[in-house]
Structure 1
Amino acid sequence: MQQTEIHDFLVRFFSSAECELLPVADDHDQLKVKLTKAMDKRLMNRPFYWHYIEQIGAEPETAVLNFRFSDRIQEGEFIHSGSPRLHQILDASEKMGRYIRMYQVIANKLSPALEPWLCINMKVSYQCDLKKDRICSMGLQLINGTMIEGFQSVLNTLHLSQKLPDYCYTLRPLITIKSGLTRIEHFIESELQKENFDWADHAATRWGKDLQLLDAFYEHQEEKPERYVQEKQALKEQYQPQIEVTLINAGLFFLQSAAFLPDLIKDR
């Protein structure tokens, strides 16, 4: 996951959790967040503080998290794809709910129809003895099958509400959610097959070299011991290249497609 992706994800995460985003000197390389009571309890691991505050009925002072995404910034916790804090927040995101239903709030009441869009946010992990993650966000209109890659960035530009706005109505999906998920899955698979797999070839080369060393160590033993089998299996688990796609969250969004189409169409 790139630093810009991490930054955008954290902004979305804390904004959706109704945490306050505090002003910073550099909006791209810094993020300062005033946690809500619920988010403080979830992330900060200070049960004794909350037990005491709730026992005496005092007004709590929730924590402020200060993140930095570049070495140019000295203040704050450096957060990146391998940092424990990011994985803690990703876990929290999953536990807080993977599915949401929202509606676009539109100013123009002349076109009150809102079309259904399925949004799926996924984490794509490239794994061998090294690991790299990236976030993939796909949107599929459930009427005509229009597909947009990077759909979360589209949603970030829209005014959304959990309540259907007055004078608006929703159009009935022609594509089922199950069928929509299958379409997105097939698209992701086809895109992954087009990618460069040099990283996997390099991992296989390193794997082969370590296997040669292992075989050389046991070459004088006609009957290989159980330890040899275990070490060989361990090398396989360490080096074998694989791509894993896991769901982060999903949502059904009723939107006025004319607000962002046709420029962003990926497929249909």
Structure 2
Amino acid sequence: MQQAAIYNYLSRFFSASGCALQADSHTGQLKVKLTEEMDQMLMNRPFYWHYIKQTGGIAETATLDFRTHTRGDQAELIYFGAPRLHQIFNVAEKMGTFIRLFQNLPEDAPAALEPWIGLNMKISYQCDLKRDRICSVGLQLINGTLIEGFEEMLSGLKLIPKMPDYLYTLSPLITVPSGIKRITAFIERELINEPTDWANEAGQRWLRDQALLDAFYEQQDTKPECYFQEKEALKEQYQPRISIQLINAGLFYLRSASFLPG
């Protein structure tokens, strides 16, 4: 599911950036023809773009091949911790973390679109080891319906940046700041209820190394400063912690009946 979330994120990021895509969700393959802006932000070739600017030449932007499945070796494997994914997160932050999109429906469809707020966040589990995952949550701003896997759900809808002429939007009953608070509270409740095996195991490793440190200095009645520095370093290394970082967010106007059961 984690790799599927990464695939959906990449598809939406490059689509929103105006890049041309050849995508196959079944194999996790994604070929991207970059725009000039994306090429300059991702490919690190300033001399080429300086030359194009000085000569007035026609630029040839790069094409990137990604894969989110481990099988195959003809494309760059993207996973949490991959330098390329970290680079894309940084570019997304520079370009702006908030978007607004509208669902494009047939002209004979019901005309009203309901407002949704969607948040994509990176959750990091840190001790002496680290694990990241994407959490995508959407909240309808009229009745408070909440959906996990919101990014994946959006990938099945046709979204455009301008509202179609024959549709209109409903006014929210829940404000955007209140919606963000509700989503944040939901994620915090989920994290509290998750298994803590990883944290307990880190604590055991911490106790083991602390015992070794104490044994090394046990003959000294007055502990030197380096003992306390090493003790603090063990705490920094092993103490379990969870951090949540916003990747991006959006306001989406959708016909809820097109994707919600019932």
Per the normalisation by structure 2, the TM-score is 0.94
- Residue 170, structure 1, aligned to residue 169, structure 2: yes
Letter in 1 for 2:210: L
Work out whether 1:85 is the aligned partner of 2:94. no
Number of the residue aligned with 1:60:
59
| 8 Å Cα contact 1:7-1:28 kept in structure 2 | no
For 2:46, the equivalent position in structure 1 comes to: 47
Q: Which residue of 2 aligns with 1:232?
A: 231
| Structure 2 stretches lacking a partner, 5+ long | none
Check conservation: 2:125, 2:242, Cα contact below 8 A: yes
Question: 2:168, 2:78 → 1: CA distance?
Answer: 42
1:226, distance to aligned residue in structure 2 (A): 1.6
CA shift at 1:117, angstroms? 0.6
Partner-residue secondary structure (3-state), 1:223 = coil
Deviations 1:63-93 (A, max 9, x none): 1212233443121223321221111111111
CA drift of 1:235 comes to: 1.0
Q: Secondary structure at the match of 2:86?
A: helix
Q: Which moved more, 1:154-163 or 1:4-13?
A: 4-13
Partner SS state of residue 250, structure 2: strand
Helix, strand or coil: the match of 2:137? strand
TM-superposed CA distance for 1:110, in Å, is: 5.1
The SS at the match of 1:238 is: helix
**For the Cα contact (< 8 Å) 2:101–2:159, is it kept in 1?**
yes
| Contact 1:29/1:73 (<8 A) preserved | no
Measured after TM superposition, the shift of residue 200 of structure 1 is 0.5
Contact in 2 for aligned 1:109/1:168 (Cα 8 Å):
no
Contact 2:142 2:172 in 1 (8 A): yes
Q: CA deviation at 1:27?
A: 5.0
Give the RMSD, CA atoms, in angstroms: 1.8
> C-alpha distance in 2, partners of 1:165/1:29?
31
Alpha-carbon distance in 2 for matches of 1:21, 1:105 = 19
Q: What corresponds to 1:101 in structure 2?
A: 100
Q: What is the total number of aligned residue pairs between the two structures?
A: 262
Unaligned runs of at least 5 residues, structure 1: 264-268
Say if 2:5 and 2:134, in contact at 8 Å, map to a contact too: yes
Give, as a single letter, the amino acid of the residue that structure 2 aligns with 1:82.
Answer: G
